[in-house]
C-alpha cells in the first residue's frame, strides 16, 4: 500500500518538469506516475511544483541560535532543535552543520565543537532533517590534530573542511575578540602565538587529508585564494572548493573537475557581503556547481528561484545547484532526484510569485513533516497526527 500520494503536480523528473503523480512507500519514492489506489494519505499537488529536497552542504546559521548576540548563549540542544525546524521550514531535508573548531576560545572553541558533535549524535533520532556533521578545521589549530584523527577513524565526521581564518584584519579583531570572549589585547597575543606556528601547518594538513581519505570522508577547502592553492588541495584529495575568492581560482577548480560551492545568500542579495566574487556571475559562466545556505537557511530556496527569474538558468538547472549536485558532492547517491527507489525527500512549492516561492509541504524520508495548507489534504485516515507539523 502507498503511504503518501502526491497527486497531479509538476514534478522535476530528470531534467524536465512533468505533470505526474508520485507514490511514496516507507522512506522511498515507490512509483512515478502513480495512481491513488489505497494511499493512506493523498495530497493535492495541482498547480504546485514538486521538487527534490534541498541538500545543504554548508550551513552555520545554527550558531545564531546558540549565540544570538555576542556573549549571550543558549543551550546547544535548544539551538539545534530550533535550527532543525528552520531548515525544514525552508525546504532543507539534508543539513550539514558546519561546525568550526578553531584556535579561538568561545563559540568556535574545542569545547563547543565537542559538545556540538555529541549533541548532534545524541539528538539525530528527534531531528526531522537528516542532520550531519561538517567539521571546519582551522588549519592553525594544530593541537586538535590527534583528536580529529580519532573522530575520522570512528566515522563521526561526515564532511571535513580546511579553513584558515588566521589572517584577521586589524579592523575585524575587536569583533573576533568579542566572539571569543577576550579583550582585543588578549586576542592579539593569542593570534601572535598561533601565527608563530604557521610553518607546521602544511605537514599537518597533509596528515589530516590522508586520514580523511582513509576514512572515505569527502573534503573541502575554504576560501581558496589562487589556482596554486586549489591545485595543492586537489592533489591531497580535496575535491570541493568552497567559496573561491576570485574567478581565476574558480576556473582552475572547474578545469580540475572539482565541485565549486558558493553561498546562496550571495545570489539572493545580489553579491557577496565580503565584496568578493558575485555568485550569479560565476553561475552564468559555469563556475559554480553547488549553492549552500552558508549563514541563512531561507537562501537556497530563494536563490534557485531568483536565478530562474533573472534568466541566469532555467529552474530545472538552478534546482540542481541546491539538490542533485550537493548530494553528488557529498556522496549521497540516494537523494537529490525524484525517481523510483530514491529517498522520499520532496517539496511542494507554489512558484506563482517568481522571486518569492511559497513552500506548501515538505516530505522527509517518506513522512509529511511540514504543511502550510491543510486544504491540500485529500485523505488522512491513517496518518499519525505527530507526523504533520503546521507552520
Residues 6+ apart with CB under 8 A from 263: 243, 272, 279, 291, 292, 293, 294, 295, 299
Task: Give the per-residue pLDDT at 175.
Answer: 83
Same-domain pairing of 226 and 324: yes
Task: Give the per-residue pLDDT at 276.
Answer: 72
pLDDT tens for the chain, 391 residues: list them: 579 999 999 999 999 999 999 999 999 999 999 987 778 899 999 999 999 999 999 999 999 999 888 788 899 999 999 999 999 999 999 999 999 999 999 889 999 999 999 999 999 999 999 999 999 999 999 999 999 999 999 999 999 999 998 888 888 888 888 888 899 999 999 999 999 999 999 999 999 999 999 999 999 999 999 999 999 999 999 999 999 999 999 999 999 999 999 999 999 998 776 667 789 999 999 999 999 999 999 999 999 999 999 999 999 999 999 999 999 999 999 999 999 999 999 999 999 999 999 999 999 999 999 999 999 998 644 444 444 444 4
Secondary structure element (H or E) that encloses residue 148, with its range: helix 145-153
Q: Report the half-sphere exposure of 64 (CA within 13 A, side-chain side).
A: 10
- Compute the distance between CA of residue 32 and CA of residue 340 in angstroms, rounded to an integer: 7
Same-domain pairing of 106 and 210: yes
Report DSSP letters for 208-266, one per residue.
HHHHHHHTT-EEEEES--SHHHHHHHHHTT--EEES-SSHHHHHHHHHTT-EEEEEHHH
Secondary structure element (H or E) that encloses residue 303, with its range: helix 299-309
- Compute the distance between CA of residue 256 and CA of residue 8 in angstroms, rounded to an integer: 42
Contact 222, 242 (CB under 8 A): yes
- For 74, the 3-state DSSP assignment is coil
Sign of CA dihedral 238, 240, 245, 250: positive
- Compute the distance between CA of residue 384 and CA of residue 292 in angstroms, rounded to an integer: 33
189: how many CB neighbours lie within 10 A of its CB? 12
Residues 6+ apart with CB under 8 A from 5: 21, 22, 23, 24, 34, 35, 36, 37, 39, 41, 42, 43
Task: Give the per-residue pLDDT at 387.
Answer: 42
214: how many CB neighbours lie within 10 A of its CB? 11
- For 30, the 3-state DSSP assignment is strand
Same-domain pairing of 350 and 251: no
**Domain final position from 314, 329, 344:** 329
Phi, psi of 30 (to 5 degrees): -90, -35
In this prediction the pTM is: 0.93
Same-domain pairing of 44 and 58: no
DSSP state of 17: E
Residue 106, Ramachandran bin (φ over 0: left; ψ between -120 and 50: alpha; else beta) = left
Task: Give the per-residue pLDDT at 70.
Answer: 78
Give the number of domains in the chain: 2
Same-domain pairing of 76 and 159: yes
Task: Give the per-residue pLDDT at 213.
Answer: 98
- Compute the distance between CA of residue 286 and CA of residue 260 in angstroms, rounded to an integer: 10
Same-domain pairing of 78 and 138: yes
What CATH number has the domain bearing residue 372? 2.30.40.10
**Domain final position from 300, 329, 358:** 329
What CATH number has the domain bearing residue 73? 3.20.20.140
**Domain final position from 329, 355, 374:** 329
Task: State the cell numbers at 311.
Answer: 534568466
Same-domain pairing of 266 and 363: no
Sign of CA dihedral 309, 314, 315, 320: negative
> Which range of residues forms the domain containing residue 371?
4-52+336-387
Same-domain pairing of 272 and 173: yes
Same-domain pairing of 344 and 314: no
Same-domain pairing of 300 and 356: no
Contact 364, 53 (CB under 8 A): yes
Place of cell 582551522: 138
Same-domain pairing of 239 and 364: no
- For 389, the 3-state DSSP assignment is coil
Same-domain pairing of 85 and 36: no
The pairing of beta strand 218-222 with beta strand 159-163 = parallel
Q: Three-state secondary structure along 77-132? A: HHHHHHHHHHHHHCCEEEEEEEEEECCCCHHHCHHHHHHHHHHHHHHHHHCCCEEE
Task: Give the per-residue pLDDT at 1.
Answer: 54
Amino acid at each position: 500500500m502507498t503511504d503518501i500520494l502526491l497527486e497531479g503536480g509538476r514534478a522535476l523528473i530528470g531534467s524536465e518538469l512533468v505533470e505526474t503523480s508520485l507514490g511514496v512507500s516507507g522512506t522511498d519514492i515507490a512509483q512515478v506516475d502513480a495512481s491513488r489506489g489505497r494511499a493512506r494519505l493523498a495530497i493535492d499537488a495541482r498547480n504546485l511544483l514538486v521538487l527534490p529536497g534541498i541538500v545543504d552542504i554548508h550551513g552555520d546559521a545554527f550558531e545564531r541560535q546558540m549565540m544570538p548576540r555576542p556573549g549571550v548563549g543558549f543551550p546547544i540542544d535548544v539551538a539545534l532543535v530550533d535550527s532543525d525546524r528552520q531548515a525544514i521550514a525552508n525546504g532543507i531535508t539534508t543539513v550539514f552543520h558546519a561546525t568550526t573548531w578553531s584556535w579561538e576560545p568561545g563559540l568556535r572553541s574545542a569545547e563547543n565543537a565537542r559538545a556540538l558533535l555529541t549533541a548532534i549524535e545524541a539528538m539525530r533520532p528527534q531531528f526531522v532533517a537528516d542532520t550531519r556533521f561538517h567539521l571546519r578545521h582551522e588549519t592553525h589549530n594544530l593541537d586538535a590534530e590527534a583528536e580529529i584523527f580519532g573522530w575520522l577513524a570512528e566515522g563521526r565526521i561526515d564532511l571535513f573542511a580546511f579553513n584558515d581564518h588566521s589572517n584577521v584584519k586589524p579592523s575585524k579583531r575587536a569583533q573576533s575578540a568579542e566572539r571569543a570572549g577576550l579583550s582585543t589585547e588578549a586576542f592579539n597575543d593569542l593570534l601572535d602565538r598561533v601565527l608563530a606556528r604557521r610553518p607546521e601547518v602544511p605537514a599537518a594538513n597533509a596528515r589530516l587529508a590522508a586520514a580523511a581519505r582513509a576514512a572515505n570522508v569527502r573534503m573541502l577547502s575554504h576560501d581558496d585564494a589562487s589556482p596554486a592553492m586549489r591545485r595543492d588541495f586537489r592533489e591531497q584529495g580535496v575535491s570541493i572548493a568552497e567559496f573561491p575568492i576570485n574567478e581565476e581560482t574558480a576556473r582552475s577548480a572547474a578545469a580540475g573537475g572539482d565541485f565549486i560551492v558558493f553561498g546562496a545568500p550571495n545570489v539572493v542579495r545580489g553579491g557577496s557581503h565580503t565584496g568578493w566574487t558575485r555568485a550569479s556571475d560565476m553561475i552564468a559562466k559555469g563556475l559554480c556547481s553547488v549553492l549552500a545556505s552558508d549563514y541563512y537557511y531561507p537562501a537556497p530556496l530563494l536563490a534557485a528561484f531568483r536565478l530562474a527569474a533573472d534568466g541566469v538558468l532555467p529552474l530545472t538547472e538552478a534546482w540542481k545547484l541546491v539538490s542533485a549536485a550537493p548530494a553528488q558532492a557529498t556522496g549521497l547517491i540516494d537523494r537529490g532526484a525524484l525517481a523510483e527507489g530514491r529517498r522520499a525527500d520532496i517539496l511542494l512549492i507554489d512558484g506563482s510569485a517568481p522571486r518569492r516561492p511559497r513552500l506548501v509541504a515538505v516530505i522527509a524520508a517518506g513522512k509529511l513533516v511540514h504543511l502550510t495548507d491543510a486544504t491540500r489534504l485529500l485523505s488522512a485516515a491513517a496518518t499519525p497526527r505527530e507526523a504533520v507539523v503546521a507552520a
